[in-house]
Amino acid sequence: MRDVAGGRRYATIADFQKFVKLGHMSKWLHHSGGTVCEPTDIAVNKRHLDMLMAHMTLTDKPFMGSVTDPSRAQDSVDMCEILFGQDFVQQNSVMTSLINVNSPMTFDDVMMGALEVYAKNNQACIVSPFIVGGAMAPVSVAGTLTQVLAEVLAGIAYSQLVRPGAPVVFGAFVSSIDMNSGAPTFGTPEASQILYGAGQLARRLGLPFRSGGSLCGSKLPDAQAAYETAHTHNAALLGGVNFMLHSCGWLEGGLVSSFEKFVMDADQLGALHQLAKGISVDENAQALDAIYEVGPGGHYLGCAHTQKNFKEAFWRSDVLDYKPFETWDEEGARDTMLLAAQRVEKLMENYQKPDLDPAIAEALETYVVQKKASVPDSFV
């Protein structure tokens, strides 16, 4: 992970918990996510328990289950049954988990094992090809879409064999490849075209669609990160994405998460919400009274319509700076990274843990302690 204070470093469970809290505090995020960073200070075979505990106790937003081993998927179901009740979990989808296809056209035993666990327990799965065009799929958009459709249909069909009616989502994680270095690239025109095409295929099948995100290959929350993320965010909105994972905080193609970029991206999600609302054409929005009141050569700053509507008329950023140069300079000439770091601090200061029945919290803690004690630590 990366932040202003510590630079680029290995993430800890404290970092993970901080990301969950930031997500909880964002008014534009509907979902807490899954592995928002990798807590390397906890054994590989046990860290999923701590991650689930963070999602279950530090926020009241939906979350994802573990897919890195079928037994960890079962732990996710078991903990949800403690949180929500066993009967409720079996009758309702309380989490949505990501099943990646090992493209081209391969499902490994780990992913299929997790898919079996979740389908058996009526929990939703996103069946999502993991595409790097030119390496794991054809270089052409049409060829990649052909492979994406085949892979998604195979995974969905398998889930229905496990449990007819098991909830599924059509997924498409798509990037292209830099033919000079072999590195994945993000925010490219071709990736957007594939996203648009995959969205049409998902709607043809009558399935929810997952794609997009704050995808970028930059090492810092800089102009490259902003351009690539903006291209992918906008494509996700225009392509009809229903569930956008990785919406905030991505750097280095997902190898790094950043607190500062997290709040920058979350802020921009607000702009997408405003754009998606569309345009009102009622009597108030047409504003004929304001046009008549101001007349030729006047201004609208003080008219009754402006005074009535200015608080809600425009989307306003919680991060970006629009002040005159002199004011900006007097306040320390803060760039976006510093403004975002201050936003992180403010959100953490105002964070309040959501209420949870103490008996449920205790039962979850007991489950985690007992599961950890039952097996030795493993870091592989």
- In this structure, the answer to whether residues 326 and 367 fall within a common structural domain is no
Give Cβ neighbours of residue 111 (< 8 Å, ≥ 6 apart).
67, 99, 100, 101, 102
Q: Is residue 380 part of a domain?
A: no
pLDDT attached to residue 174? 86
Say which residue, 106 or 174, is predicted with more confidence: 106
Q: For the segment 73-82, what is each residue's pLDDT rounded down to a tens digit?
A: 999 999 999 9
- In this structure, the answer to whether residues 110 and 171 fall within a common structural domain is yes
Domain residue limits at 332: 283-350
Using CB atoms within 10 Å of the CB of residue 321, give its burial: 0 to 12 exposed, 13 to 18 middle, 19+ buried: middle
What are the E-state strand segments in 146-223? 168-171, 173-177, 184-185, 209-210
pLDDT exceeds cutoff 90 at 375: yes
- In this structure, the answer to whether residues 135 and 28 fall within a common structural domain is yes
Q: What is the mean pLDDT of residues 146-150?
A: 97
Q: Is residue 379 part of a domain?
A: no
Q: Is residue 254 part of a domain?
A: yes
Contact 79, 107 (CB under 8 A): no
Q: Is residue 331 part of a domain?
A: yes
pLDDT exceeds cutoff 90 at 168: yes
User: Please, what's the largest Cα pairwise distance for the chain?
Assistant: 79
Q: What is the mean pLDDT of residues 179-202?
A: 94
- In this structure, the answer to whether residues 252 and 288 fall within a common structural domain is no
Q: Is residue 104 part of a domain?
A: yes
- In this structure, the answer to whether residues 341 and 314 fall within a common structural domain is yes
Count, in order, helices (H) and strands (E) of the chain. 15, 10
Q: Is residue 378 part of a domain?
A: no
- In this structure, the answer to whether residues 100 and 232 fall within a common structural domain is yes
pLDDT attached to residue 243? 97
Say which residue, 231 or 131, is predicted with more confidence: 231
- In this structure, the answer to whether residues 299 and 361 fall within a common structural domain is no
- In this structure, the answer to whether residues 302 and 315 fall within a common structural domain is yes
Tell which residue, 199, 194, 197, has the closest CA to residue 174.
194
Q: For the segment 233-266, what is each residue's pLDDT rounded down to a tens digit?
A: 999 999 999 999 999 999 999 999 999 999 999 9
Total domains in the fold of the chain: 2
- In this structure, the answer to whether residues 288 and 272 fall within a common structural domain is no
- In this structure, the answer to whether residues 305 and 270 fall within a common structural domain is no
Using CB atoms within 10 Å of the CB of residue 157, give its burial: 0 to 12 exposed, 13 to 18 middle, 19+ buried: exposed
